[in-house]
Amino acid sequence: MNQPGDTYIYDDGSAPTCAVDGAVSSPVPLDGIRGKLTCKAPLAPYTWFKTGGPADWLFEPADMDDLKTFLERLGGEIPVMALGLGSNMIVRDGGVPGVVVRLGKSFAKVEHTGELELTCGGGASGILVASTARDLGIAGLEFLRGIPGTVGGFVRMNGGAYGREVADVLVDCAVILHDGSFITLNAAELEYSYRHSALPEGAIVVSARFHGRPGEPADIGAEMDRIAAAREASQPLRTKTGGSTFKNPEGHKAWQLVDQAGCRGLTLGGAQVSEKHTNFLINTGTATSADIEGLGELVRDKVYAATGVSLEWEIQRVGRP
């Protein structure tokens, strides 16, 4: 595990040069591909922090078959990364090598497929899943209302909130690997732990099945409202932020450790530790991704010096510095 003060070495992850650089127009033949492929695509608009460089390639597949065909043609030779709502991510200023896959509307459906069971596309939001469950009288999924992300993202990281996590409700998930092969993994095979799974690198969760328990829609709705109100009261939701920055260490709350180390309101460039919730970093308007990540590392150093506890990043940091 990285410790405060460690030197970080980044893999540039070379990918095919884009047409704008005077070379190839696509990493694979595009005949029969129905989705949209964009070269040097800006990613900042797709992240909550609104910072970061472009993707070498951004692919927005038309549907699952389109995604599978595209990845088969890549053949696992180029790095692949899935992008959801960009809520728990820092895209570094040098951009992301390889292909970034962004799942659109065809992957955002939520269907009632069994007693107390929903099948949800990898691009469906947590609030859509929770709301659909409420309308069907399926309890136990209310906490997904409090996760600002998509099914693919919170299945990968075992997302959780308000005492529950994905491991508690997942039946299985359908996954396309970075070479285009298709597999189904159940919850046990994902080897879930706190904010971590054994999902292979470059794998894209295209759907997942969740189970709940019987409940009354009115009671489920009331719990969802309570979660929404609690988030609004305690978190800087109306800022350019990225969600919880650090994992809670065993026996501690990350925000309390950050506060104890005197980091509330701490700034670096255009980045700031939230005054409202110290486990959130904020882009005050002029921050670069380097400012945000650098501030996070500064906070880790200060917390380690004050408490001896080494905070681990919860936010995913991707790309070239």
CA 195 to CA 19: how far, in whole Å? 38
Buried b (16+ CB within 10 A) or exposed e, 77-87: ebbbbbbbbbb
> Three-state secondary structure along 4-43?
CCCCCCCCCCCCCCCHHHCCCCCCCCCCCCCCEEEEEEEC
Catalytic residue among 209, 289, 314, 317, which? 314
145 is catalytic: no
CA 161 to chain centroid: 14
Catalytic residue among 87, 207, 244, 274, which? 244
Neighbours of 139 (CB within 10 A): 18
Both structure tokens of 222:
């009331």
Torsional sign, CA 192, 228, 106, 136 = positive
Catalytic residue among 92, 102, 156, 195, which? 195
Q: How many helices (H) and strands (E) does the chain have?
A: 6, 19
317 is catalytic: no
CA 29 to CA 158: how far, in whole Å? 35
Contacts of 140 (CB under 8 A, 6+ apart): 133, 164, 168, 169, 211, 212, 213, 215
Both structure tokens of 204:
């894209």
207 is catalytic: no
Active site positions, annotated:
195, 244, 314
